[in-house]
Each structure stands twice: as C-alpha cells, then as structure tokens.
Amino acid sequence: MSLHLFAAATVTCLVYGCALALYRLFLHPLSRYPGPRLAILTDWYVLYYAWRGDLHKQVQQWHAKYGKVVRYGPSTLSFNSATAMTEIYGVRANVRKTDGYAALGLSRRCPNSLVAIDKGLHGFKRRIMAQVFSEQNLKQMEERILDNVTDFVSLLGSDSDASRGWGPPKDVAQACTWMTFDIIADLCYGEDLNLLQVEDMRWFPSVFRKVSQRGMMSLIQPRFIQLKLDHFLLASQYKDILRAGSWIRQRGEARAKLGNQNAEKDIFSTMMNATDPKTGRNFTQKDLWVESMLLLIAGSDTTANALSATMHYLLHHPRSLAHLNTEIRTTFATEASIRFDAASPTTCPYLHACVNEAMRLAPSVPNAPPRAVLPGGIYLEGDFIPAGTVVGAPIYTLHRNAAYFDRPDEFRPERWLDPSHSSSSSNSSPRGSGYDTAEQQQQHHHHHHHHQQGTSAATTTKHTQAYPAFCPFSYGARSCVGWRLAYTELHLAVARLLWRYDVRLAASASTSTSTPPPGKGKTDSAEYEMMGWVVAAVEGPVAQFRRREDLF
C-alpha cells in the first residue's frame, strides 16, 4: 500500500513540476519576455550567481543576448534602460521593496531606513537622515574626517618617507576600508575603530562581506533565509558576526548615555536632536541603534570601494594620473589647504570626473535593487507590468550601456567634462549623486529627456545622455542619503594622497595577497574585478608610493 502511495506521490510531483514549468515558460503573464530558460523556471538558478558574486556580469551578458528587457526569474524582469530606471525608482512609482530586504535589517520590529518597506516609515526616517547629512552638519565634522584622511595618507606612504625611494607594495583597498570604517565609526559614536593605526579590530570589515553575500542571496530568493540555509553560509564567521554586533550595540548604548554632553558634533547627536518637520517625531533609542549600525555598514565599504576603484583606474591609466597630479599640485600650495570647500568639483573638475568615472565602471552597488509591483500594475518603457512582478534596473549593466556612454568599457574621465560648460558641468553632481531631494532628481531627468527629444541625433552628445544613466548612489526616494559625505571623503583622500606622493602599480602582481574571484586568475588588467553582492567586495590595487622629491 505504502509503495502505491509513494508511486502516486512521485507521479503527482512530476506532473505538477511539468505543469508548472510549462506554465512559467509559455502561459505566464511574463512569458513574452526573453531570458535564460533555467532562470525563468526557478529563482534557485540565479541564486547560484548571487552566491558566487558575479551576478552583475551574468545579467550584463543576458542583456547583451536577449535585449533591453530580460526575464531572469519566474516573476522577475530586468530593464537595461535609464527611462525604466526612473520609472521603477521614482518617488511616485507603484512599487515597494521586496520581502527579501528583511534579511538586511537588524530588527523586525524596528526596520532601518534601508529595509523599511512601509513608505510612511521610510519617509520619516529619510527626513531625519537628510538633516544628518546636510552640508552644514558635515562642515562641523570636517576636522575629524581630515584627521582620518591624514592617517590614511601617512599609512600608505610611511615607508617611503624614511627611504626617500619607492616604498614596499601596499594593498590600497585594505587601507581604504580601514579609513572609511574609522571615519564612520568616529562620526557615529565619537570613537573610531582605529583600524588605520592598530591591528586589533581589523577582522571587523570582513564580517560585513559575509553579511552582504547573505543579503544578496536573500534579495534573489527569500526562501534561502526562511529555510535557514544561511546558517551554513555564515557558520565560519558566526562568532565574529556576534562580536561585531556586540561592539556596535555597546558603542551605541555608551554614546546614547552621553547624550548631548559630547563636546564635538557627531552624527549620533544630530540623529538624537533632529525632529521630523512633517510629523514632529524623533528617533527612539532603537531607531538610533539600527540607523547607526546601518551607517557603519552602508557608509564604509561603499565609499572604500569607490576610492579603491578610483586609484585602480588611475594606476592603469598613467596619462589620466599625470593629468590629475598636475591639477591637484597646481591648485593647492600645501596639503593642509586641501579641505572641504577647496577639493570641490568646481575647484578640481578632473578629480571629480575621475571619481565619477571609477564609480561608473565599478559601482559599489552593482546589481538591480529589486522592487515588487503593487496592485494596479505599472507601465515601464510603455509596457504594462502586472502586480506581483519583481522589477529592477541593473546598475553595472546600465553604466556600461553604449546608448548612454561612448566606448562604455573604457576609463575616460573626460566624458564628465562638458566642453560647452567648461568646469562648471561638475558643479552639480550627476543625478543620483548631487541632488538633495528625489523630486529634484526626477526634474533633472525630465529636463534631459526633453532636451534630447528636441535635439537632432547629430547634435545630441553622449555627455548629455550620460547623466540619466549614471546612478552610483541609486535614484529616487530610496537613493543614498549620504552622498555628500561619500564625495567629500573621496575628493579629500585622492587629492591629499596624490599631492604628497607619486604612485605606481607594484612591480609584480605576485606581491598581492588578494584572492581572485571564482574562475579568475590574478590579473593586472585595467578591469577592476569585484564580487557583486549587496555591496561589492574588492581586492587591490597593490601600489607603491614615493614622496614627491620637491617635498624633501
């Protein structure tokens, strides 16, 4: 009897599986969109690439093969289009964050501003955080940021100061990570991790790489977390994850007890004292804890990656490096004069262009932030997309779209210098990076859209087209609120480093201790390799530094 039941159950499962496959391939509302067959059948297939860290490259290949719109999950569509990107992530888009974001939070009852699915809750948190990262507030934290930048520059060149020659090979990415973690910890808690000076806590950043990998897998397949399969993934670093969480909780509690007694202005005090102008509400203790932890994660690796990528591409493009050296060394008479206002896009347009170009080629968030379409559906690129569909615009792929960027795989900072506006084109950062509000971003997009519609194909420049497709800080209501701090750190660190030191790639790639991505050997290629999780994980470049001869 049991054998018959087993046979019946097996047949039922097979029939159901075949029926489901046929439905997803041929009868599903999204069946008219092309994509890889296995991905259309199940999200578990794409999960493999999310785990491996090369989903961003895979999605780019799928778009090259299948076109502008790719179906890479039973209910998932990817749009390689700046228009669709603004339609998906715009303030009034009929979408919400997907359930997979829950895995990126620390508390189910008190989600942080990254994972808050409820738009009202997110709006409240966003309005508070916008005050935290205002230009005025950052200016008050300038000295603390500069102290850490000075430590970063000194660490990379310390050995060459003594020898007066080229110093030993240094892993630039490692130093960038230590600096950005030190800055954000100092600004959040008034106590940095001291990674640049002491080895004790240098295990700390690696914890967040595993968390980022887990988060990416959750965004692709939420059942991965629901079935607790992530326990196997995190087992090796579980103790370190608990240690990191404990450190952050202790610092948060200690800083909260200090209240406003802290002599220096910091992010924590601003969060404590800020009031939402719309509701009159303030952050609770739990809000302060989850938001400060989010800042520690989101405000460190992302900026470190952009800084490492900028140095990588400059080291592989000597002419660009020489051009930038000249700009920095002729603009500033002393290293100390390189401060917030001085290292601005207006003062150093080529520096800003190099940073933008590095973020275009190696965005810290390379994959498509997924959005679930709400009841009533949404129109994307003129097509009606039904409720329940997961949609997104893949940032890595969009940044290398030849429709928006001429010779998209090449490092060409000049593309950001609009000859018709001279250096002033950099005065307002590109959309997604230099606009205070999501509404301003959208107005900017529409301005470009209408400009292009009223311009002949012959006179429409790739420079004009680049802005709508450039989104290193995402776009719309959910874009990165800390873009000002990120640009400040990037401009100051690159400018001060290149003002004090000559820099070159280390003589041999064998000096690198980095682990190449799966299937990749160690390479000196101009392409900056990265593991594309929620936040990309990078290695290198390995460089040597020599103090400028005229400074001795």
The total number of structural domains that make up the chain? 1
How far is 155 from 175, CA to CA, in rounded Å?
8
Instruction: Please report the pLDDT score of residue 507 as a whole number.
Output: 80
Looking at residue 88, its pLDDT comes to: 97
Rounded-to-integer distance, Cα 317 and Cα 302, Å: 23
The answer to whether 356 and 412 have CB atoms below 8 angstroms apart is no
Residues in contact with 491: Cβ distance below 8 Å, sequence separation at least 6, in sequence order = 343, 344, 348, 351, 352, 355
Q: What average pLDDT does the segment 127-139 reach?
A: 92
Selected residue with higher pLDDT from 53 and 210: 53
pLDDT in tens, 77-119: 999 999 999 999 998 999 999 988 887 776 666 677 777 778 8
Do the beta carbons of residue 40 and residue 73 sit within 8 Å? yes
| Residue with more model confidence, 87 or 526 | 87
Residue 428 binned pLDDT confidence (cut-offs 50, 70, 90): very low
pLDDT of residue 502: 96
**Predicted confidence (pLDDT) at residue 16 exceeds the cutoff of 70:** no
Q: Would residue 15 count as lying in a domain?
A: no
Structure tokens at 10: 């097996």
CB-CB contact of 130 with 138 (8 Å):
no
φ, ψ for residue 212 (rounded to 5)?
-65, -40
Mean pLDDT score across all residues of the chain: 85
Q: What is the pLDDT of residue 3?
A: 74
pTM value is 0.88
Bond into 541 cis (ω within 30): yes
Across 193-207, 448-462, 524-538, the highest mean pLDDT is recorded for 193-207
pLDDT of residue 388: 97
What does the block give as tokens for 482? 């800390």
Write out 197-255 in H/E/C secondary structure: CCCCCCCHHHHHHHHHHHHHHHHHCCHHHHCCCHHHHHHHHHHHHHHHHHHHHHHHHHH
| pLDDT at site 284 | 87
Q: Which CATH number fits the domain that encloses residue 187?
A: 1.10.630.10
Q: Is residue 148 assigned to a domain?
A: no
Among 295-309, 389-403, 434-448, the least confident range: 434-448
Q: Is the pLDDT of residue 155 over 90?
A: yes
Distances (CA, A) of 459 to 406, 431, 454: 14, 22, 10
- C-alpha closest to that of 43 among 77, 13, 72: 72
Number of Cβ within 10 Å of residue 36's Cβ equals 17
In a domain, 241, yes or no: no
Q: What percent of the chain has pLDDT over 90?
A: 57
Instruction: Quote the domain boundaries for residue 95.
Output: 33-59+67-136+174-221+248-464+484-551
Assign 552 a pLDDT band (cuts: 50, 70, 90).
Answer: low
- The C-alpha angle 321, 323, 328, rounded to 5 degrees, equals 90
pLDDT(305) > 50 = yes
User: Kind of pairing, strands 95-97 and 371-373?
Assistant: antiparallel
Residue-level pLDDT at 521: 41
Flag whether 276 is in a domain.
Answer: yes
- At residue 444 the predicted structure's pLDDT band, cuts being 50, 70 and 90, is very low
Asked whether residue 370 is domain-assigned, the answer is yes
Amino acid of residue 112: N
- Positive or negative, the CA dihedral 75, 76, 77, 83 is positive
Rounded-to-integer distance, Cα 250 and Cα 368, Å = 34
pLDDT at 323: 98
Q: What is the pLDDT of residues 470-520, one digit of tens each?
A: 999 998 878 899 999 999 999 999 999 999 999 999 986 433 444 444 444
State the DSSP H helix or E strand holding residue 533, giving kind and residue range, or none if neither: none
User: Which residues lie across from 378 on neighbouring strands?
Assistant: 385
Q: Has 348 been labeled as part of a binding site?
A: no
Most confident of 386-390, 447-451, 462-466: 386-390
Q: Which residue has the higher pLDDT, 183 or 159?
A: 183
Average pLDDT rounded to a whole number, residues 60-79:
98
Least confident span in 23-27, 284-288, 376-380, 433-437: 433-437
For residue 229, being part of any structural domain is answered with no
Model confidence band, residue 365 (pLDDT cutoffs 50, 70, 90): very high
Mean pLDDT of 292-312: 92
The type of residue at 12 is T
Strand 76-79's sheet: what is its strand order? 69-73, 76-79, 390-392, 371-373, 95-97
Asked whether residue 1 is assigned to any structural domain, the reply reads no
% helix, strand, coil for the chain, step of 5 = 55, 5, 35
Report how many helices (DSSP H) and strands (DSSP E) the chain contains, helices first.
22, 12
**Residue 4 pLDDT > 80:** no
369-387: b or e for each residue (b if 16 or more CB lie within 10 Å)? Answer: bbbbbeeeebebeeeebee
Does residue 350 sit within a domain?
A: yes
